[in-house]
């Protein structure tokens, strides 16, 4: 990664991505934006048994929305569900056990889900940062399989159903770390050079932002957005980035602060008035590239990336 990009990004992060950055931004929030009744609307949230995903589910359940929790670990998911129900008094919270790193499982789940359920909003929150190169049972690098391909397959599978409901939305939880990365379409599996889990994660997050932009241009009936939650104190940060967590702990946002923009994008009328396909931070659309960072990809590179994803997706799609 470019030393310049990393340095500019870290300085930006200290100013904007921390707890104090959120508190400064929140002075300009409109509290009424989240004063909504979500009864009758269905929200699918991936990776929500802890951290930002769980906080997002809690806020939506508090407002009466039906929650479909898509999680990998049954025990943790059920415990999170019980807590969400207890706090919200909302019984419409459902658990679905899916490993987002398994392309076949994601396809199977989406197709089965749509046979008896509607969905108004998909929140692609699940993610991982595996620091040693690891392959899934399907032979895919695990970060790519979870963060990019799983997100692509689930969203693609749900798009036809989303087009049938009122005010459909797709929110993808990306990361400001993607600002350090230019799309590298020639090494999606991170097979070349020394493996770096943080870099792989940031590359996947860049891919999610590109996907959001492309989906928005292809499917005008749906409102697509991606977002950066800021630097939040979550179990994932503690386990995947222990040294960063130890140094920055006092400056990190709470899980609820990290979830705020995701919730705002998923439920507020104000968010739906924003153009589709943008990248948000603290309820505002922000640039997807740092100044002079040379991280923009060409249309040809993006087409090659999308074609590769489609090839992977079709390879594992049930016949």
Q: Which residues pair with 234 in a beta bridge?
A: none
CB 197 within 8 A of CB 240: yes
Smallest Cα–Cα separation from 64: which of 82, 84, 83? Answer: 84
**HEC letters along 255-280:** HHHHHHHHHHHHHCHHHHCCCCCEEE
What tokens appear for 134 in the block? 């690891």
Residue 212 CA to residue 218 CA, distance in Å, equals 10
Give the phi and the psi of residue 61 in degrees, each rounded to 5. Answer: -65, -40
Match 């590239």 to its residue by tokens. 289
The answer to whether 168 touches 42, Cβ cutoff 8 Å, is no
Looking at 17, 22, 152, 201, which residue is catalytic?
Answer: 201
* Euclidean distance between CA atoms 50 and 47, whole angstroms: 8
Whole-angstrom distance, CA of residue 141 vs CA of residue 190? 7
- Grouping H, G, I as helix, E, B as strand and the rest as coil, residue 104 is helix
Q: Closest by alpha carbon to 139, among 149, 129, 125, 127?
A: 149
If 0-12 CB within 10 Å is exposed, 13-18 middle and 19+ buried, where does residue 49 land? Answer: buried
* DSSP three-state, residue 56: helix
Q: Is 31 helix (H, G, I), strand (E, B) or coil?
A: helix
- Is 201 among the catalytic positions? yes
Triad 168, 173, 177: Cα angle to 5°: 150
Query: What is the set of active-site residues?
Result: 201
């Amino acid at each position: 990664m470019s030393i310049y990009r990393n340095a500019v990004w870290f300085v930006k992060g200290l100013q904007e991505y921390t707890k104090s950055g959120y508190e400064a931004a929140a002075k300009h929030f409109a509290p009424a934006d989240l004063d909504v009744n979500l009864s009758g609307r269905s929200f699918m949230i991936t990776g929500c048994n802890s951290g930002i995903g769980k906080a997002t589910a809690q806020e939506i359940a508090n407002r009466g929305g039906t929650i479909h929790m898509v999680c990998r670990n049954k025990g943790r998911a059920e415990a999170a569900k019980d807590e969400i129900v207890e706090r919200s008094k909302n019984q419409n919270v459902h658990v679905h056990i899916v490993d987002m790193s398994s392309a076949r499982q994601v396809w199977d789940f989406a197709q089965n889900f749509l046979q008896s359920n509607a969905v108004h909003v998909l929140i692609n929150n699940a993610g991982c940062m595996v620091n040693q190169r690891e392959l899934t049972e399907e032979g895919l690098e695990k970060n790519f399989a979870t963060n990019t391909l799983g997100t692509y397959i689930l969203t693609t599978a749900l798009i036809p159903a989303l087009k049938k409901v009122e005010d459909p939305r797709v929110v993808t939880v990306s990361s400001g770390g993607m600002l350090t990365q230019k799309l590298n379409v020639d090494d999606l599996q991170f097979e070349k050079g020394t493996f770096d889990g943080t870099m792989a994660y940031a590359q996947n997050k860049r891919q999610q932002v590109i996907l959001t932009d492309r989906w928005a241009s292809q499917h005008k009936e749906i409102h697509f957005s991606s977002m950066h939650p800021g630097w939040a104190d979550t179990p994932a940060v503690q386990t995947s980035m222990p040294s960063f967590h130890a140094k920055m702990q006092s400056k990190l946002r709470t899980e609820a602060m990290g979830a705020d923009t995701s919730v705002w994008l998923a439920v507020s009328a104000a968010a739906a008035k924003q153009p589709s396909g943008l990248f948000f931070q603290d309820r505002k659309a922000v640039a997807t590239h740092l100044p002079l960072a040379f991280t923009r990809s060409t249309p040809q590179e993006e087409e090659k990336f999308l074609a590769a994803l489609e090839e992977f997706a079709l390879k594992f799609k049930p016949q």
